[in-house]
A and B are shown apart, each in its own frame.
Chain A
Amino acid sequence: MNIRHAKTFFLGALVLCFLVSLFANQINSYWLFISYDIGINIILAVSLNLINGYTGQFSLGHAGFMAVGAYTAAAITNQFGELNPYLSIAVFLGALLAGGLLAAVAGLLVGIPTLRLRGDYLAIVTLGFGEIIRVVFQNMQSVGGARGLSVMHGWTNFFWAFGFAAVTVYVVTALVHSTYGRGFIAVRDDEVAASAMGISTTKYKVTAFVVGAFFAGIAGGLYAHSKQFITPGGFNFMQSIAIVVMVILGGMGNTIGVIIAAILLTLLPEGLRAIADIEHIPGIVTAHPFVWVSDTRMIIYSLLLIILMLTRPQGLFSLRKSLSK
């Protein structure tokens, strides 16, 4: 996806999600909620792709940024009662942006230790940051602590979920393909060579973390206003891994692949659940012949991850031969 495609895509996506949102009340609410998840997961995966894919840093703490955004946005909107539609949009957008900005501050804090770390160490530190953020929310009684926080307004809708997904895709693509953004790829391809060429690798790494965290915060805000109930446990290590898997499956540094992977991996559990719910097949006597699928879903998922790494480490939808180096 080059920058011209990105602009067309951006405008097209905005128009499309506006049109779909006009018919949203005719869509089955089950599918509507899944579509919110798809939009949110696209934001998360594409923003993580900026850090992990384009800049070559390995972050395992994306759920922590998401938590900051979710809690901030929810705490803000919970201050308001019933509002008229226009005011509610203004409050919602303000809350999402505040969540994004606070997550970006968290991203800056995580970005600073990355000045000296790389590879495995960085992965563990980001994981640690994610866990620290979770523990802090667990102890913050003003937002419910470990019991969780209920969010009064279900303001996330199709337009906002996919509108922000389109914004994320556009910003990340435009950033990486700009003259400035070439630096991200240079840092990924060879950090020593990049710094020898006069690129401030530190600045690029921190920028990637801040921008990635900002969008993760937005996604968190959307998530909170879609589920209307958030707990610190929902933003744990496993959630971060789920986002990382989307990026890896799609191919690191391949935005279109990552979007496809985010969509597929959101639909996969629903599809497996549907298979497990099949009551009978003609010719087979046992009731619920595929019920085992729901038990083994996560086993299949992790096995897929290992097999993918052994056979196609560049991701399913990537044409490039290998990861960096």
Chain B
Amino acid sequence: MTEFLQQLINGLALGSILALIALGYTMVYGILRFINFAHGDIFMLGAFAGFYLAPKVAMFLPMPSIGGGLAVMGISMAICAVVGILIEKLAYRPLRRSPKLTVLITAIGVSLLIEYTCQNDHVFGAAPKSFPTIFPEYHITQLSGLSLNSNQIIVFAVTLILLLALRFIVLKTKIGMAMRALSFNPEAAALMGINTDIVISFTFGLGSALAAAAGILFAVNYPSIDPLMGVLPGLKAFVAAVLGGIGNLPGAALGGVIIGVTETLVAGYISSTYRDAIAFGILIIILLVKPSGLLGKKEIEKV
């Protein structure tokens, strides 16, 4: 029982990170109806931004500290938001009226471009780097043998705050209302005087910032980062978004948690070498049984 609870806590931590990435996928899909393949690479860029920022921030703030860590995370989120907006402007905006397949292939191209550029020795280099300690670390071993890592508490706290902030933005602000309008019907939204370009840029920025936060949290828990670290978490997060019902924000968060917990339990009890196949197995089952996802609405095909 203790071991099960322990695995559950580890799974929830991984799941929270996947949930943050999945939100970016689901927001972009909700508005533009395409998979932003480069999203996993934004997650990687977030971790690398943290890696290079940490020594700089340490000059002004004490380093393994809550404030210092949050400062690194905040700046990294801002950088990735700008990168996300730029990618949308340069690569996806010219293709707004193109067939979906063209945009999908472009997104794959953008993803490959980021990965290979970052693997170049003049940029980050292909070798893994060890992520510095930016949050103070404690181990709490109590509660009948359960061990809770301070980093995991930070993951839960940051995820919860970001989810509440996102909920506030989407439901209570004007730009959030515009985002929702756009996901219902882009043309009608444009006719109502919504500047679609600004809303789409904002969505990309918001999603990329969440991915950057996920990247930092991931690197804090698994402190070895490399330019290809975003590929698998990116794909799993996409599966999480589909599982929850793509385009649905609570669904993405729920899907992320389910994938994270399932994967950790399977790795712990069955076989750790199969962990990377779990997410795809779940994806295939969900698409066969309920293609609209757990919380999604069924779409009717119109001619």
Contacts and interface: CB of A to CB of B under 8 A. Distances in A.
A323 B101 contact: yes
Contacts, number: 116
Contacts of A121: 242, 287, 291
A301 B113 CA distance: 8
Tell me if A's interface is mostly helix, strand, loop or mixed: helix
Contacts of B242: 121, 124
A272 to B, nearest CB: 13
Interface residues of A, number: 40
Contacts of A301: 112, 116
A15 interface: no
Contacts of A129: 280, 284
A309 B95 contact: yes
A299 B287 contact: no
29 contacts: A113-B287, A124-B35, A127-B280, A128-B235, A128-B279, A128-B280, A128-B281, A128-B283, A131-B276, A135-B273, A135-B274, A139-B274, A295-B121, A295-B122, A299-B113, A301-B112, A302-B113, A303-B109, A305-B109, A306-B109, A306-B110, A306-B113, A309-B95, A309-B105, A310-B94, A313-B102, A323-B102, A324-B99, A324-B101
Given A124-B238, A125-B283, A309-B95, A302 B109 contact: yes
A130 to B, nearest CB: 9
Interface in B61-108: 91, 94-95, 98-106, 108
B154 interface: no
A136 interface: yes
A228 B220 CA distance: 42
B108 A323 contact: no
Given A132-B280, A135-B276, A323-B99, A248 B271 contact: no
A324 B283 CA distance: 27
B277 interface: yes
Interface of A: 58, 113, 116-117, 119-121, 123-125, 127-129, 131-132, 135-136, 138-139, 192, 237, 241, 244, 248, 295-296, 298-299, 301-303, 305-306, 309-310, 313, 322-325
